[in-house]
Amino acid sequence: MSRTSESGTPIEGVYGPKNIQHLDPGTDLGEPGAFPFTRGVYPTMYLTRPWTMRQYAGFSTAADSNRRYHQLIAAGTTGLSVAFDLPTQMGFDSDAEQARGEVGKVGVAIDSLEDMRLLFDGIRLDQVSTSMTINAPAALLLLLYQLVAEEQGVPPAAISGTIQNDILKEYIARGTYIYPPGPSLRLVADTFAYCRAEIPRWNTISISGYHMAEAGATPVQEIAFTLANAREYVRAAIASGLAVDEFAPRLSFFFVARTTLLEEVAKFRAARRLWAHIMRDEFGAQDPRSQMLRFHTQTAGVQLTAQQPKVNLARVTLQALAAVLGGTQSLHTNSYDEAIALPTQKAATLALRTQQVLAFETDLTATVDPLAGSYAIESMTDEIEARARELMDQVAAIGGAVAAIEQGFQKAEIERSAYRIAREVDSGERTVVGVNAYLAEQEEPYEPLRVDPAIEHEQAARLADLRARRDCGEVERCLEDVRRAAAGDANLLYPLREALRALATVGEVSNALRDVWGVYRPPEVY
């Protein structure tokens, strides 16, 4: 019986030399750590150290999340990954009308420098790498992190990590945008320039296909739309006056890992090869670091099920295996209970243990790119690369990622794929264990982790106290500096930093930018 891949191409029953006859090993494969990086971005990959093991965590208050971080560090995580609540992601304070009912629910509430201090209390920021999943207000959260490091006596050059800072995919698949695309891209470019001067080890953007995949994008769509967005960021940075090799080495990417292991491995290899050619041939990047596609992976939350949740342990293990065989630089493994509620501490620890077993009890780290030369993998890599390139050409023909977003192109393509997958599940053509096949007569009882709704009032009280204690005149002067910079062309991060240092809140600073730039209203697309 013939099968098709997630991207809709036929999977052959047997692969052989005929499937990869056109491959030129000197150009398409090469060696690990060498152009076009098909086999990995570093020559030794995991031979000397495994990937960074991150666990995405954040909920309730900064103090509650801080306790979880200490638990994860004690369990052996090698990198923190911060989840922010929706009000923070949208640039609203916890006492704003728009924040009602959402404070601390899907991430931690961060309203000010004081919250950021609490979030990293007892954690030296020169001894941990931190990823922050934040987009529209990414610059603000990065600056708060820098200010906390400064208070710890840690110089900016010693801190490392990543901000997602990928606003274009918000217009396509996620929706936590604030400003129109033009000023949003300006803020991204200003962040590139600021970090080059002030925080040289920081990854200034994590260009994300993950959220598009969670919305229903196929593997081909995931990398095509992600790399099309990346092109737009590179153009914006160059237009702002930066040379490509000044900022491109700090670009990073973020992809999903699904249970379809073979196609996922091929997807990661194809993405590296595509990006290497784009950066060298299109943008003239000479620094090999500018040509490398370095990426973080998260296992596929959308594939986890609330039914028979412990089966998710098998799914997450397969997904993590795909990420490692595909050459990821860092990895978050989802907890088995995430389809039900916020992960419990027990489930989060077990997710981390899954990575540790892969890293230290298997032979995955004993050799670089163990699937290289597989007829199936090499053929699938070529197929995904060719189809992704065609889709990127379609975006380019429309006028680039922003023009395609304004026409609703990417969103419509992803919605078609999501609808196809939903129909396949409903019809039984696609098997989902525990959902449409192999059902359990009775589900095991489960006690979810719940966020106390009282934290909304606690955060509001903290904000009222902050506003009563701070120098309000100094805050307003700093906010006026922000408005003036937003209306001009100076780098915004410097006045933003001073406003946050003066204890202006995330919501107040975001509002100052709203005063000048307005907010984005998506077009009606039918």
Cis bond upstream, residue 36 (ω within 30): yes
- Cα–Cα distance for residue pair 366/331, rounded to 1 Å: 18
**pLDDT given at position 27:** 53
| Nearest to 305, CA basis, from 173, 105, 443 | 443
- Cα–Cα distance for residue pair 423/405, rounded to 1 Å: 26
- Cα–Cα distance for residue pair 349/7, rounded to 1 Å: 33
Domains of the chain (ranges plus CATH)? 3-31+49-427 (3.20.20.240)
- Cα–Cα distance for residue pair 496/487, rounded to 1 Å: 14
User: How many CA within 13 A on the CB side of residue 126?
Assistant: 10
Alpha-carbon distances of 118 from 55, 66, 67, 110, 415, rounded to whole Å: 19, 7, 10, 10, 40
pLDDT, averaged per 10 consecutive residues of the chain (526 residues), comes to 82 82 64 95 95 86 92 87 95 96 93 97 95 96 98 96 95 93 95 95 94 96 98 94 94 97 97 97 97 97 95 98 97 94 89 97 95 94 96 97 94 95 94 93 76 88 96 98 97 98 98 97 67
Other C-beta atoms lying within 10 Å of the C-beta of residue 251? 23
- Cα–Cα distance for residue pair 211/477, rounded to 1 Å: 38
**pLDDT given at position 343:** 87
Q: How far apart are the first and last CA of the chain?
A: 37
- Strand order of the β-sheet with 79-83 is 202-203, 160-163, 129-133, 79-83, 52-57, 330-332, 295-299, 251-257, 205-208
**pLDDT given at position 261:** 97
| Nearest to 56, CA basis, from 448, 323, 332 | 332
**What pTM was estimated for this model as a whole?**
0.91
